[in-house]
Structure 1
Amino acid sequence: MSDTQQTFDFEQSLAELTSLVQRMESGELTLEQSLGAFEQGIHLTRSCQQALAEAEQKVRILTEQNGQSLSQSLPPGGREAVE
Structure 2
Amino acid sequence: MLRAAAAAYLGRYRGESRVHTGSDLKVSLTWCSGRELDPLCLGRAEIERYVRWLQDVRRCRRSTVSRRLSVVVGFYRVCVIDQL
TM-score normalised over the length of structure 1: 0.38
Greater radius of gyration (CA): 1
Q: Whose strand fraction is larger, Structure 1's or Structure 2's?
A: 1
The alignment's TM-score, normalised by the length of structure 2, stands at: 0.37
Q: Which has the higher contact order (CA 8 A, sep 6+)?
A: 2
Larger helix share, 1 or 2? 2
